[in-house]
Structure 1
Amino acid sequence: MDISLLINYFNKISPLTEEMEQAIRSKVRKLQYKRDDLIPNNPYPELLFVIEGLLIGYVDVDELGIASWLAQEGELTLTSQIPLGRESGPERIVAIEDTHALAIPADLFEGLSGNRIQSQRFERALWKHFLSTARQRSLLVSLHSARRRLEIFRLNQPGLEKRVPDEALASYLGITVHLLRRAQQGTAA
């Protein structure tokens, strides 16, 4: 797995300093998961950058797993562990496909002696990205029509529907599997 994909991704968010690139190269770990693997909660918060494959995050609410995010190739996970600052939480991450990923410690850039303003600028840009993603998901599930939710998902995530099992996709869209199948057939409201 090439860490340069992650560095390029971060540089699109906000340019990295040489010291930040060195921190990425020294602290990021390579991971590999098989389809249906449950990704273990780590003893410290971290993000996952998907190189190949597909991950889904579930938040457990009243013994019901609700899909809260999907991350495919070239995307970062949007875990509840990072924003809430918890070491472990009610979130489960599952590999929908065989997946290669990079584990990024949440404190990746802490303590760098270089340009602190650049590190803070990068962290703000990353939070802006996460908040934008969360907002899109929130708007998606606020739509009343199952058909419209599916249409918006297809527009925002072309081709992803075929890769996600119906149960996971229905949960992500906030609808039942029955409504999802009706929306796919064009018979749902």
Structure 2
Amino acid sequence: MNFKPLLDYIAQYVALSEEERDFLVSKLRYRRYLKGQFILQQGDVSKTECFIVKGCTKMFFVDDEGQEHIVMFSIEDWWTSDLGSFSAQIPSDFNVQCLEDTETIQFHIDVIEEIFERIPKMERFFRKIIEKAYVSSQKRIVRNFSMAAKARYLYFRETYPKMERRIPQYMIASYLGITKEFLSKIKSQLAYDD
């Protein structure tokens, strides 16, 4: 079990002593999932916040017509969970499914308060990463309202070059809020323009 990626990530925000790192690691769970497995299913209560060590996940919801809407992808050094479900302990609006074999480090709801009490700076750490995620989410909403589909795709491709090679095109189209056929047209046009 390799907790170093998470400890390195935390060190970008707060400095932990060796004793604090040891205590933290003693409270975490390392969990592997196979491609296609769910970390969380719509309607279940999220019991964990997951840091991705290896692999790729998608967060999505299924509407009343059975249509899948992808709201987020997560790869190495990213987080995945339904934060609203986790913090309020209410049924989740989202599914989190593995697109590849995935390894996670999990903060379980049963130990999070104990971690915050013993290592107060971890509360600051979570506040900082939640602020960052919130700002990113707001910017994505603005892009979806203000940018044409082609510009949204170009932004995605330039901002997340590692993801585009790992995620099927129809899922990227869902994330961008367009059909896979329209994404295909955009890509053909871009290839023609080059």
Q: Deviations over 1:120-169 (max 9, x none)?
A: 42232122122123224323322442111110001110131121112211
- Alignment correspondent of 1:105: 108
Structure 1: which 5+ runs fail to align?
none
Matches within 5 A, 1:63-142: 63-77=66-80, 79-82=82-85, 85-106=88-109, 108-112=111-115, 113-114=117-118, 116=120, 118-142=121-145
SS of equivalent to 1:159: helix
Give the equivalent residue in structure 2 for 1:27.
Answer: 27
- Corresponding residue SS for 2:95: strand
Is 2:4 the partner of 1:4?
Answer: yes
Q: Over the residues paired in the alignment, what is the CA RMSD in angstroms?
A: 2.5
2 CA distance for matches of 1:107 and 1:142? 39
Alignment counterpart, residue 45 of structure 1, candidates 38, 44, 47: 47
1:142, 1:19 → 2: CA distance? 47
CA apart distance, 1:98: 1.4
Show the 5 A alignment for 1:137-156. 137-156=140-159
> Aligned partners of 1:119, 1:52: CA distance in 2, in Å?
23
Tell me, yes or no, if the aligned pair for 1:55 and 1:72 is still in contact at 8 Å: yes
- Work out the number of aligned pairs and report it: 186
| Matched AA of 1:74 | D
Q: CA deviation at 1:34?
A: 1.8
Report the 3-state secondary structure (helix = DSSP H, G, I; strand = E; otherwise coil) of the residue aligned with 1:68: strand
Query: Tell me, which stretches of 5 or more residues in structure 2 are unaligned?
Result: none
**Greater helix share, 1 or 2?**
2
Structure 1 residue 13, shift from structure 2 partner: 2.5
- Partner SS state of residue 13, structure 1: coil
Over 3 Å counting, the alpha-carbon distance change for 1:19 and 1:152 in structure 2 is same
Task: Answer whether contact 1:23 1:108 (CA < 8 A) is retained.
Answer: no
Against the structure 1 CA distance between its residues 89 and 78, is the aligned structure 2 distance closer, same or farther, given a 3 Å change threshold?
A: closer
The alpha-carbon deviation at position 80 of structure 1 amounts to 4.2
Are the structure 2 counterparts of residues 174 and 23 from structure 1 closer, same or farther at C-alpha, using a change threshold of 3 Å? Answer: farther
- CA gap 1:164/1:105 in 2 versus in 1, 3 angstroms: same
What secondary structure sits across from 2:79 in the alignment? coil
TM-score (norm 1): 0.83
Partner Cα separation in structure 2 for residue 16 and residue 154 of structure 1: 35
